Chains A and B, each alone.
Chain A
Amino acid sequence: METQQIAQLDKRLLDFINEWKGKKGKEIMILHKVQEIYGFLLRALAMEVSRLIDLPLAKIYGIITFYHIFKLKKPGKYQISVCMGTACYLKGGNDIISELENILGIGVNCVTEDGKFSVEVVRCVGCCGLAPVMIIHGKTYGNLKKGDLPKILGEYGESVLLDKENHV
């Protein structure tokens, strides 16, 4: 059973739920916390939350599937978010997506086989002056050109390789 995967809920989550239980408008805030801690919303987690805050699972799935931010699939280790706000679109955001597809071999909303990268499109990240923009693992890259991508991805490829070596 999938439910058995979660032996013990993270304490941070339990504390958060206890703190918010009596508050108005807690549902989305709690789901944000789940995602912050676990990275995505596993079904077993949704069931636990449903039990703890006494909200039907169907309602929880109603929320998760409505809002873009909640993920049902595990994202890559390094998440690449390409901005598709108007300014980025006009300045070639599409080219960035297709070049990423060329290099990584995956399209939007997919994860590379080794689980290293996932690509997603986001709406305006609010730095239109730097268009086109993408964010990898919290770091913003602006004024992008297609040719910059191999080098930028190299930064991460490199560090991942080093990680592996360290583990060995």
Chain B
Amino acid sequence: MDNQYIFVWEPDPSKSKAVYNYLVKKVNDRNLGDKVEVFKSTYIGLTSSRPIIRILPNDTIYKDFEQEDLGEIFEAISSGRKVNRFLCEFESKIAPVPEKDSHSKQFKIVLRNVGYLDPENIDEYIRRGGYKAMEKAIFQMKPEEIIKEVKESGLRGRGGAGFSTGLKWELTREEPGEEKYVICNADEGDPGAYMDRSVLEGDPHSVIEGMIIGGFAVGCKEGFIYIRAEYPLAIERLEKALASAREYGLLGKNILGSDFNFDIELRWGAGAFVCGEETALMASIEGRRGNPTPRPPFPSQSGLWKKPTFINNVETWANIAPIIEKGSSWFSSIGVGKSKGTKVFAVTGKVKNPGLIEVPMGTTLREIIYDISGGILGDKKFKAVQTGGPGGGVIPEKFLDMSVDYETLQSIGSMMGSGGLIVMDEDDCMVDVNKFYLQFSVDESCGKCSPCRIGGKQLLDTISKITAGNGDMKDVQKIRNISMAMQKASLCALGQTTPNPVLSALQYFENEYIEHITHKKCLTGKCRDLVQYSIIPEKCIGCGVCAMKCPVKCISGEKKKPHLIDGNKCVKCGECFASCKFSAIKRS
């Protein structure tokens, strides 16, 4: 039998390591140390509130077991059997150790180590080949060569806009002056996206290594990681990783004995979405309100404290070391067209298997949603998927087979964004979802420029009017006009992209808007003002369950006789609809 590697993921390892400790003890008790190894894992590709065990090389995954079942599971592992009742049915959908894997369709570059090492132990990162690329960069390459390599790899910013990373570095390097800064943007604010957080928590050194290489190539002495204060665990792990890198001489003065000096510090965000925008981010690091400023001047000319600065996001940084190590031609062989490499997506919403995935650029949405994420929850009908967060757009079913890359997404009115992928099913109302995103964008607008501040509010008011049943066909044109003004006149990407979800919904789901406006109907029942609940007398057997569930007691009737809903009192919570076992309640 091959050696067995057991990866244990526990929801809150700081509090409980019961499963890990148990397995380690078992291995020691039975003297199996040379055959079975147990590791702590911080990310396993599935989201759960209970521990998960994953065993390599067979890639068996166990979940939903109790502590007392562990003995049985351990026996099975040590004798090469499986315990079927705890097997995770999605086991084949999660990719094993890095690189291309034929049956899962995933390809791991950024997530290469996430889940396979202890992020708080620098030795494990080094054992897996970490900091080799940095050594190569500092001792065997000239800064110009590094930049050329990154440029030729075709790597583009993974924060969403897709600007060439190598070009950004080159522009900053060419600027005169001694003092330059490198920044890692870890202000991941899109609702429904947690790619960066997983990388920072699961493999912080990959980001640090990338930044050191970047700092060396461009000629910086100082770097900053701007991270959300909402990610305390990521902050803690980064602090530890930075400290151990300093201890090993990988950061600080004369790195690895060379004459290159470089250090990285953390700066916390404070809960402002707009600070993900680069000029606002720099204002925030400088200790000011996070208001964006017009570009030019670009950060590469005048950035942090008016010095040349270049900013890349977490995922971009995590790509750097593999590119330097394996070369630009390896990287550019992955992907399609002008979109090279892979992209990490956080697939959430109505899918069976929500989680983090990494796929080569050019993978289709159908492969992502159905093959990797297991399809729609409850086998309902797919309606749309939102990419790009609040500044992206909805993609309807007809584009499911389209390749996911920067250009294609833009051509159909959405955008790559940072990688949130929210799947919606037939129960979701597009107008309601638009309202949600607008509320978000209006809340997060910094208020500096009027197109964004006033336009966003007007859009939200108009859409709220429609969901309340007071819409007018003229409103659709009004929405289009305001949207155009915002796109053209807003100062930063936040305002420019705020109308995107609405515009794409109008493009692909216009009939839903029209239904809300002219028929005053919301077929999904999400817009409560437009819904009426009534009881179908022929189907009602008078069991009284709905009357019991009703929070406002507006359902009445005699036992075993059809009941009645008082429409004036009804708050349209939908409890009766959900509780009736005889489908006797009609929603219209």
Contacts and interface: CB of A to CB of B under 8 A. Distances in A.
A87 B440 contact: no
Contact of A25 (B286, B290, B348, B389): B286
A28 B348 contact: no
Interface string A1-44: 00000000000000000000001111111011000000000000
B178 to A, nearest CB: 16
B446 interface: yes
Interface stretch (B63-71, B152-160, B190-198): B190-198
Interface residues of A, number: 38
B111 to A, nearest CB: 15
Contacts of A69: 229-230, 270-271
A57 interface: no
B354 interface: yes
Nearest to B386: A86
Contacts of B355: 129
A70 B289 CA distance: 12
Contacts of A131: 348
A52 interface: no
A106 interface: no
Contacts of B271: 67-69, 123
Nearest to B435: A89
Contact of B440 (A25, A32, A123): A123
Interface residues of B, number: 51
B290 A66 contact: yes
A104 interface: no
Interface of B: 46-49, 188-194, 197, 224, 229-231, 265, 267-273, 284-290, 305, 346, 348-350, 354-355, 386, 389, 420, 422, 424, 428, 433, 436-437, 440, 446, 551, 573
22 contacts: A25-B224, A28-B268, A32-B229, A62-B288, A63-B270, A63-B288, A66-B446, A67-B269, A68-B271, A69-B271, A70-B270, A85-B192, A87-B422, A90-B428, A123-B440, A124-B190, A124-B191, A127-B194, A128-B346, A130-B48, A131-B348, A142-B49
Interface of A: 23-29, 31-32, 55, 59, 62-63, 66-70, 84-87, 89-90, 95, 102, 122-131, 142-143
B354 A67 contact: no
A122 B230 contact: yes
Contacts of A142: 49
A84 B390 CA distance: 13
Contacts of B224: 25
A143 B270 contact: no
A29 B268 contact: yes
Given A25-B287, A85-B191, A128-B349, 11 more contacts: A25-B267, A27-B287, A28-B267, A32-B229, A62-B289, A67-B270, A69-B230, A124-B190, A124-B193, A128-B192, A128-B346
Nearest to B283: A66
Nearest to B195: A126
A69 B271 CA distance: 5
A125 B440 CA distance: 15
Contacts of B350: 90
Contact of B197 (A59, A67, A126): A126
B270 A86 contact: no
Contact of A86 (B269, B286, B420): B420
Sort A-B residue pairs by CB-CB distance and give the 10 closest, nearest first: A129-B47, A27-B287, A67-B270, A68-B271, A128-B348, A85-B191, A69-B271, A86-B192, A126-B194, A129-B354
A125 B428 CA distance: 22
A138 to B, nearest CB: 9
B425 to A, nearest CB: 9
Contacts of A124: 189-194
Nearest to A27: B287
Contact of B354 (A32, A59, A62, A87): A87
A87 B436 CA distance: 11
A127 B233 CA distance: 13
A145 B456 CA distance: 32
Nearest to B266: A29
B284 A28 contact: yes
Nearest to A128: B348
Contacts of A68: 270-272
Contact of B348 (A55, A66, A86): A86
A89 B436 CA distance: 8
Given A62-B289, A128-B354, A90 B270 contact: no
A63 B269 CA distance: 11
Nearest to A83: B191
A90 B194 contact: no
Nearest to B201: A126
A139 B345 CA distance: 26
Among A85, A86, A122, A131: residue with most chain B CB under 10 A: A86
A90 B230 contact: no
Given A28-B287, A66-B290, A86 B272 contact: no
Nearest to B436: A89
A95 B571 CA distance: 12
Among B348, B437, B446: residue with most chain A CB under 10 A = B348
A31 to B, nearest CB: 8
Nearest to A55: B287
Contacts of B305: 24
A87 B348 CA distance: 6
Contacts of B231: 126
A63 B424 contact: no
A122 to B, nearest CB: 7
Contact of A32 (B190, B192, B270, B420): B270
Contacts of A123: 189, 191, 230, 271, 273, 440
A34 to B, nearest CB: 12
Contacts of B289: 62-63, 66
A77 B286 CA distance: 33
A55 B583 CA distance: 65
Contacts of B265: 23
